[in-house]
Copies of this chain bind each other. A is one copy, B any other.
Amino acid sequence: MTYRLPPLNGLRAFEAAARHRSFTGAADELCVTPGAVSQLVKALETALDTRLFHRSARAITLTPEGKKYLPAIRRAFEEIAAATEATAPGLPGRKLRLGITPDLDRAGSAVLRGLVGRKGTRDIVGQRVADDPGLLVQGGSLDALLRLSDEGCAGLHLDRMTVIAADRSRLDAVLVTRPGIAGCRQHKSLVMLLARAARESN
């Protein structure tokens, strides 16, 4: 059996852009520039001869065709991601080493305190570190870094998060992750943890 498949990297850009409702957001996730995402999506649309997004100056929205197309693509990627994680785990048999910058540590978030604590969680062990994405290089001492700014993170995976400080104020933080790790079990566990904490403190 032979498959008729569109450009797969374009498909990935499409899925990410749809999820973020933004080419810029997708670009952060994919560690490329917004222009690259724009080109990938356009190439996909050309290959399909079908428009997937409406573009306006401020936002993108899915066309009916895009809406129809997306769920299957999402399922397919979930399937691939799950199988990959099962066959070749991203962080086999160890915890994700999370760095937390002094700024954030000082804010005294309850969740973060739990992560830095004696044993961390099953999947994560936190530590206070300098605010330096350079610690994330291959072979470095960190797998991910939670900080306030997204500066100097070219080529790194970004997730924007809200962190609840001790005084119940909300901080806009950025979880910077080494590519190749982003999306593995431990990383998902971390993102979930932070998202739940933010959601529960309304």
Contacts and interface: CB of A to CB of B under 8 A. Distances in A.
A184 B181 CA distance: 35
Contact of A12 (B1, B5, B12, B68): B5
Contact of A65 (B47, B80, B87): B87
Contacts of A77: 3, 5, 76
A3 B69 contact: no
A102 to B, nearest CB: 26
Contacts of A80: 3, 5-6, 11, 72-73, 76
Q: How many copies of the shown chain assemble into the complex?
A: 2
Contacts of A118: none
A187 interface: yes
Nearest to A86: B68
A88 B83 CA distance: 27
A183 B65 contact: no
Interface of A: 1-6, 8-9, 11-12, 15, 19, 29, 47-50, 65, 68-69, 72-73, 75-88, 90, 157, 159, 180-184, 187-188, 191
Given A8-B12, A47-B180, A72-B82, 18 more contacts: A1-B188, A2-B159, A2-B182, A3-B77, A3-B80, A3-B81, A4-B85, A4-B181, A4-B182, A5-B183, A6-B84, A6-B88, A9-B9, A69-B84, A72-B79, A72-B83, A76-B76, A76-B80
23 contacts: A2-B157, A2-B159, A2-B182, A2-B183, A2-B187, A2-B191, A3-B15, A3-B78, A3-B80, A3-B81, A4-B182, A4-B183, A6-B80, A48-B84, A48-B87, A50-B87, A65-B87, A65-B88, A69-B83, A69-B84, A69-B87, A72-B82, A76-B76
